[in-house]
Structure 1
């Protein structure tokens, strides 16, 4: 753990392909081992008409219908993939879920700039609808769905709450997302459109105002903007509800390693996530 923390701290708070590759290398051995032990139970299930409307399932051992944890990957609205047998990144979250006794669901969704707001959140809604109809066939309880997203994936989960309300799911987990507390940047505009449209298209009011149980997290070495978004949402929830949501600042991790390390020997965030899922689906 100390060596891993030092390696991540040395990367600073920046983003980019080099940092992403260095994070991947840190967890490669452990995640390949997990992939060998926890294969997908179903791959490339079609949940909509677009070529990226695909999801993979990771079924837990045991009888009966299990709670469902849906993971929505990041990628700055422009890239990202659910992973699989040959590429463990993001698939590791589904494997972690299965190990914990949940039906893990890892999805792809439409990407900008070809698919703009609210495509990502609409796709989360389509996944929820598919699970309502088909999850029981794969060992999942359609009445016990928890949504989880990281970075752009957290934005799409938050947007889903804004569009669809809270009746279909039990809770949401938002890792290092953007909720509307900091100014728009150029990458955001490729998804949201012009800056003038941004205030009405961000899910701020829905996420800050929802009565749905939330778990919010950011990383010690997240870029400052993501840390400001985390603190903004925590403060807004406190102002509106008189109490903060469940929150977690993950020491020794950065924007990429937050999700990338799940399923490894560092169980701190995984234990927090799994306890939250169990509590909200009991």
Structure 2
């Protein structure tokens, strides 16, 4: 189903800025629908420890509808500029919405926290994604999930952490595929605020994450939004071009017309099913 005209118009007004007002506006745009869905799909388990740090926690969502067993697994890695973000928050129904969406579509959904900058710098986020995937591979069968069909989905900083995970594992992963929404992969210059996580020792022209993302044989679905800031669009275009040059074919891609950096992730599960349909088709092709 296409995006409602009112949502498209509201998002267009905010443009490509990452201002707090745009984030608050996007949250409010989908809040009522997401809160209604939240009431219908509570978590099956919360604050499961996948590592030793207090931020090494994830929540699991699943539906007891008697569907397929074992089920595909979706791990959601939130954004937040490397400095913030929560798997579940009393202030808003996101990022748990992704776990609920996965459960409603016959999957086991998992939503993770990870260590944050400035206390934890690169490659901490990638290490945490790997640790969460390892934990799911070992334990998700308890929740009816198939450890051979884990798909990791990251938005913004979360997508960057997935890229680092692939770098740390030499392009391999416990995941069967990855969906990357508006991330940083090493194809555009870092901004000053990124240094709080990446530090000053990571050079713009020689980012090891970009090498891993270009070379990996892990199936990828890449996405960016019409109103993403130019740097995120440049990152996606750079990765698409690099993978085409390396592998001789375009990676699977999605262009979120009518969406911005925030709404691309936060609208998942709403009446606009274009991205949701693409992710479901991607997961289905991995089976």
Class of the TM-score when normalised by the shorter of the 2 chains: over 0.9
Give the length in aligned residue pairs. Answer: 281
CA deviation digits over 1:182-203, x for unaligned, max 9?
1111121111110554555541
- Give me the whole-angstrom Cα distance separating, in 2, the residues matched to 1:43 and 1:202: 34
Structure 2, gaps ≥5 residues long: none
Instruction: Check whether the contact 1:184–1:195 (CA below 8 A) recurs between aligned residues.
Output: no
What is the DSSP-based 3-state SS (H/G/I as helix, E as strand, rest coil) of the residue aligned with 1:33? helix
- Give me the whole-angstrom Cα distance separating, in 2, the residues matched to 1:170 and 1:85: 32
Instruction: Check whether the contact 1:192–1:201 (CA below 8 A) recurs between aligned residues.
Output: no
- Give me the whole-angstrom Cα distance separating, in 2, the residues matched to 1:266 and 1:128: 29
Q: State how 1:178-257 maps to structure 2 within 5 Å.
A: 178-194=184-200, 196-257=202-263
- Give me the whole-angstrom Cα distance separating, in 2, the residues matched to 1:234 and 1:200: 18
Deviation, 1:142, is 1.0
Instruction: Check whether the contact 2:56–2:113 (CA below 8 A) recurs between aligned residues.
Output: yes
CA deviation digits over 1:197-254, x for unaligned, max 9?
4555541011111111100000010001101111111111111111110001011100
- Give me the whole-angstrom Cα distance separating, in 2, the residues matched to 1:37 and 1:261: 17
Instruction: Check whether the contact 1:39–1:85 (CA below 8 A) recurs between aligned residues.
Output: no
Q: Does residue 1:73 correspond to 2:78, yes or no?
A: yes
- Residue 66 (structure 2) aligns with: 62
Moved more, 194-203 or 268-277: 194-203
- Give me the whole-angstrom Cα distance separating, in 2, the residues matched to 1:148 and 1:204: 18
- Give me the whole-angstrom Cα distance separating, in 2, the residues matched to 1:5 and 1:102: 29
Structure 1, gaps ≥5 residues long: none
Moved more, 188-197 or 42-51: 188-197
Deviation, 1:48, is 0.9
- Give me the whole-angstrom Cα distance separating, in 2, the residues matched to 1:133 and 1:173: 21
- Residue 20 (structure 1) aligns with: 23
Deviation, 1:257, is 0.4
- Give me the whole-angstrom Cα distance separating, in 1, the residues matched to 2:89 and 2:281: 25
Q: State how 1:87-236 maps to structure 2 within 5 Å.
A: 87-164=92-169, 165-194=171-200, 196-236=202-242
CA deviation digits over 1:50-81, x for unaligned, max 9?
11111010113325211111010001111111
Instruction: Check whether the contact 1:113–1:191 (CA below 8 A) recurs between aligned residues.
Output: yes
Q: Mark the CA change 1:16 to 1:86 in structure 2 (over 3 Å): closer, same or farther.
A: closer
- Give me the whole-angstrom Cα distance separating, in 1, the residues matched to 2:125 and 2:152: 13
Q: Mark the CA change 1:196 to 1:94 in structure 2 (over 3 Å): closer, same or farther.
A: closer
- Residue 10 (structure 2) aligns with: 7
Deviation, 1:158, is 1.0
Q: Mark the CA change 1:192 to 1:271 in structure 2 (over 3 Å): closer, same or farther.
A: same
2:87 counterpart (82, 87, 94): 82
- Residue 268 (structure 1) aligns with: 274
- Give me the whole-angstrom Cα distance separating, in 2, the residues matched to 1:79 and 1:86: 14
- Give me the whole-angstrom Cα distance separating, in 2, the residues matched to 1:11 and 1:62: 43
What is the DSSP-based 3-state SS (H/G/I as helix, E as strand, rest coil) of the residue aligned with 1:56? strand
Moved more, 72-81 or 200-209: 200-209
Q: Does residue 1:31 correspond to 2:34, yes or no?
A: yes
- What is the TM-score when the length of structure 1 is the normalising length? 0.96
Q: Mark the CA change 1:86 to 1:139 in structure 2 (over 3 Å): closer, same or farther.
A: farther
Q: How large is the Cα RMSD of the aligned pairs?
A: 1.4
Deviation, 1:161, is 1.1
